[in-house]
Amino acid sequence: MGKRKLTENNLADLNSEKSILSCLIKKPSLIVESFETIQDSDFTNQNNRDLFRIFNTIYEESEFKKEPVFDLSSVRSVSKRHNIDNSFFEGVKGQSYFSILGIDPDCDIAAYSQYISSLKNASGRRRLYGEGLRIQRLSSDPKLGNPSEAIEDIYKSLSGISADIVGQSNEPQKLMTNAVSMIEERLKHPTELLGFTTGFEKLDEHIGGLDKGAVYVVAADTGVGKTALIMNMAWSAFYKHNIPVLFISTEMSDDEIFFRSISKLSQIEEIKIKKGFLNIEEKNKILEVSRGIASAPFYHIEVHGYSLETITSLIRRFIFKTVGMTDNKANDCLVIFDYIKLPDSMSSKTSPVIEKETQVLGMITTGLKNLAKQLKFPLLTAAQLNREGDVAASARIEWFANCIMKLEDKSPLMISNQGGQTRKTGNQILKITKSRGSSKFGQVDIYYDSPRLTMHQAQVQQGDNVIDPLA
């Protein structure tokens, strides 16, 4: 005998459909449990779907009383008022079906939540099956060009199916239900870090580390070292703490990132490593670092002429395929986008640019922020400063970021006034100009060893209100 052809109807769970309706007739108060959990669209049988919809309407019209009345008379009355096809329940077959549901001996009221779970799973499988058919049609469409936008749409659809199956509600939730237990838990286990460390102790004190769902922006003039700073945070995450890092670069190749990483971790100048003229001690050091870093969870990709869809698709694949999700939240990871700027394809004055630069940068920032909030991962990015010392081109970058950090070189006069020992007091200042949830902005003194691409927190911190006389 051949296998039965799979269809959406084969994936129905009619037993759970009938059991849910039977439980509701026997104990109408159960509607409270299923009202926000399942929809009439989860039912495949049209009569079952109509009946569940009518039960919900009765519940709503009763002003959500705990004991609504679900009898045949109410069903017929509601179906007439709301133009629901009631021909089935007006007839003898409908009356008999309703009566059978009311006395069904196989229905166990205590198992109501299990029936709901089974129905949701069946509904999810049908939606997944339908999405598979849609993907098949889409992939065979000769009009389909670059598939990246289609892939992004598919990811969103699959995420929605997943969210529905686990019961994520789009309705407002009562926020303070667990207030006491949450506060007691935090008081019992206080922590300086809201997420994981940036690698700079003083910076962690100011911003609480890199928290899930938050966007952190490092802004600086060209050549000051914003990429070096975020790379130092990346190295701390994947090398010291084994946290997966995705580094999306708009300018740096795999080779550049590779040699910078070996230089930082071995403390040998990048140019010497590239040339290969090293003494025995240096050779042993970089070989040791190379062995230690070989299995590190560090992922890099260089993108040119990118679109927001390209970037978000890369991030989604990294989260779903490499990092994984738990309770609709990404497992520990760090995503870096270096940096927010106008895509190369829109940079030419001769190109047909429809949006203004500020609108494009705002759109990119908003899209990245929304994705970080949705999947719950920290996003670290960089931006240019303009001549006025503000984040260039778009107020949206500053508006949507949870934290803005501005990196500046100290002037020779300031370095001199602080004793001239840059290794001790630093040659740069990292100013926290915005940090949501904190009234303490402050700054961190940084020593930047440019040849080795290394940034250290200066041994002596000058305080949060020290002003460079030449700034």
Q: Which residues contact 305 (CB under 8 A, 6 or more apart)?
A: 343, 344, 345
pLDDT tens profile 122-172: 988 888 888 888 888 888 888 777 776 677 677 767 766 765 665 544 455
C-alpha neighbours within 13 Å on the C-beta side of residue 88: 13
Residue 127, CA distances (Å) to 85, 157, 349 in order = 25, 10, 46
Instruction: Name residues of the chain where pLDDT drops below 50.
Output: 1, 168-170, 347-355, 469-471
Output phi, psi for 455, to 5 deg. -120, 130
* pLDDT score, position 394: 59
Q: How far apart are CA 448 and CA 458, in angstroms?
A: 9
Query: What is the sign, positive or negative, of the torsion defined by CA atoms of 262, 265, 270, 276?
Result: negative
Q: What is the DSSP string of 97-122?
A: HHHHHHH-TT--GGGHHHHHHHHHHH
Q: What is the pLDDT of residue 355?
A: 46
What pLDDT, on a 0 to 100 scale, did the predictor assign at position 469? 46
Question: What pLDDT is recorded for position 349?
Answer: 46
Q: Percent helix, strand and coil across the chain, each rounded to 5?
A: 50, 15, 35
Look up residue 388 and give its two tokens: 């006025």
Provide the whole-model pTM. 0.64
The neighbour count for residue 395, using CB atoms within 10 Å, is 12
